[in-house]
Structures are given as structure tokens and as C-alpha cells.
């Protein structure tokens, strides 16, 4: 594990593996750098991966006050430390962080955003969800926090939630429940500025699970409309966490192939290999 200091002095940790062009990985909510573990063997055959622990988890530090802007600074510190232009892959909340970093740096080769939870128009998230999560957290009910968030935030189905609970990473998610209220608040405050993101000129791949909740497709479609150098790829049969459920999709090869294509078409891609097998 390597570390670097962010702009506010917070220690940010990342794990470097593999060999090849640099690929920086930014995980989503209720996760850490180890959330990429099932995909890393495939990714590391094609890239030098830098899997970040976002602040407040893993080997990274935290600060008393939270703002998504500090997360963007954390990511930029890692990108700068690589010393060469990077491919940047962000998942869920981490995709919002990656998008904001892309606006502020010229050190990217490509940008890959997998289902950022950007609000587009009205949504079905209850206004009091953050308060109820904080109340559950105060009682020590971390599983209640996680289950309530998954049901009422992204709106995952009972089947998807059951699958997540069956993964070995579920206890790790529960340990990070304290980060959910602040990240939910940050998402609710975040507003997409189409003109601002249109200034991102690197090839951009937008990933969407074919079975993901509607809020993610609305966000991806809004980004695709706003970003002239983007391509949208739908992963058939996948939900919000394909890196867990289908690591055999070998996202990095899909990403680089599509990111190099500046076309505007929406494409559905079959697995490059069958789930459970290695990359070719």
C-alpha cells in the first residue's frame, strides 16, 4: 500500500498492481479499494492499476468536515503522483468524483464512468432518508443503515440486495456505513452542469448495466448528451456492481476499445470472455 498527502493534508492510500498503461480506479459508496478485488487480476494483465481507498476508509485518513471537493483533490493528488497521463475509471459515487477531476486536470488519456448517481429531474428518494440513516447509525444498526440506503437510495431490488448480502464483501460494506449519510447528502446537492462537463475532451466511456435502476440510465443518458467525446456501452444482464457479479467481462478491454472510438452510438456489448474465465 502506498500513500500520498492530499491538498488538505489527509493521507490517501492506494494499491498499485500489474504492468502496462496506468489505470486509476475510484470505488463507490460503502466500498474501498478492495472492492475491485475480483476484477483486478484481469485488469492488471493490461494495466498498472492504482486502486484508491477514498477518504474515511481502508488505509486512508479522514477530516472532521466533509465535502466532495476534498475527494476530488484526493484523486487529483494520486493522478499527479503517477507521473504520466492515466486512464481513469470511477464507479458510482466514485464516478462523480472522477468526472469532477476530469474537468480539472489535463493528465488523463481516457475517462470511464460506471453509473454515477447524478440526479436528473425529480427522483423517488425520500427527503428524510439522510436523517433516518443517521438515526440508525446512532443506534449502531449498521445493517439497517445499509439495507435502508440500498432500498431507498439507488432503489435496488430485493434480489439484487440479497445477492450483495451473499458476497464476501458484505461485512466490509457494513463497516463503512458511517460514510453513507454524508455521501448521500453530497449526491443530493450535486447538480450536473452540461456546459461544464462538455469541456472534457478526452475519450469518455459511459457504462450502464442493462438491468440497473432507472436513475442510473437517466444519469448516463444525460452525460452522453452533454459530452461530445463520449460513447455509451450497455452491459447486458448486469446491474450496478458488474465488477463483483461478472468480473469476466474484463471491463478494461471494453473500456479502452470503446474509449478510443469517439462515436456517439449506444452499444450493447457481449462479454469478451464468459464470467469466471480469464481474459484473453
DSSP letter string, 227-249: -TTEEEEEETT--S-HHHH-GGG
Is 220 part of any domain? yes
Per-residue pLDDT of the chain (280 residues; tens, 9 = 90+): 999 999 999 999 999 999 999 999 999 988 888 888 888 888 888 899 999 999 999 999 999 999 999 999 999 999 999 999 999 999 999 999 999 999 999 999 999 999 999 988 767 788 889 899 999 999 999 999 999 999 988 888 898 899 889 888 899 889 999 999 999 999 989 999 999 999 999 999 999 988 888 889 999 999 999 999 999 998 888 888 777 776 655 444 444 444 444 444 444 443 332 233 333 3
Is 157 part of any domain? no
CATH code of residue 198: 3.40.50.1820
Judge contact between 62 and 37, C-beta under 8 A: no
Is 12 part of any domain? yes
The count of structural domains within the chain is 1
Is 181 part of any domain? no
The range of the structural domain enclosing residue 42 comes to: 2-121+192-268
What is the C-alpha to C-alpha distance for residues 220 and 225, in angstroms, rounded to an integer?
9
Q: How far apart are the first and last CA of the chain?
A: 28
Amino acid at each position: 500500500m502506498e500513500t500520498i498527502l492530499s491538498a488538505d493534508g489527509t493521507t490517501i492510500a492506494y494499491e498499485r498492481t500489474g504492468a502496462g498503461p496506468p489505470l486509476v480506479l475510484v470505488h463507490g459508496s460503502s466500498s474501498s479499494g478492495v472492492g475491485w478485488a475480483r476484477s483486478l487480476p484481469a485488469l492488471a494483465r493490461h494495466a498498472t492499476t492504482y486502486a484508491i481507498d477514498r477518504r474515511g476508509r481502508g488505509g486512508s485518513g479522514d477530516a472532521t468536515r466533509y465535502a466532495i471537493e476534498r475527494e476530488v483533490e484526493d484523486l487529483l493528488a494520486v493522478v499527479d503522483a503517477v507521473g504520466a497521463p492515466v486512464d481513469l475509471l470511477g464507479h458510482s459515487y466514485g464516478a462523480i468524483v472522477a468526472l469532477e477531476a476530469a474537468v480539472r486536470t489535463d493528465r488523463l488519456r481516457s475517462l470511464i464512468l460506471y453509473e454515477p448517481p447524478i440526479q436528473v429531474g425529480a427522483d423517488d428518494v425520500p427527503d428524510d432518508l439522510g436523517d433516518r440513516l443517521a438515526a440508525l447509525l446512532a443506534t449502531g444498526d449498521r445493517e439497517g443503515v445499509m439495507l435502508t440506503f440500498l432500498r431507498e437510495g439507488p432503489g435496488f431490488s430485493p434480489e439484487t440486495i440479497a445477492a450483495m448480502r451473499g458476497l464476501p464483501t458484505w461485512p466490509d460494506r457494513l463497516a463503512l456505513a458511517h460514510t453513507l449519510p454524508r455521501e448521500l447528502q453530497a449526491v443530493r446537492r450535486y447538480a450536473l452542469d452540461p456546459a461544464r462537463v462538455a469541456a472534457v475532451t478526452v475519450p469518455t466511456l459511459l457504462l450502464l448495466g442493462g438491468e440497473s435502476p432507472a436513475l442510473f440510465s437517466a444519469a448516463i443518458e444525460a452525460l452522453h448528451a452533454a459530452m461530445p467525446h463520449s460513447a455509451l456501452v450497455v452491459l447486458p444482464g448486469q446491474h450496478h456492481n458488474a465488477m463483483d457479479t461478472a468480473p469476466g467481462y474484463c471491463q478494461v478491454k471494453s473500456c479502452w476499445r470503446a474509449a478510443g472510438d469517439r462515436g456517439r452510438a449506444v452499444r450493447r456489448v457481449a462479454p469478451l470472455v464468459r464470467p469466471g474465465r480469464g481474459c484473453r
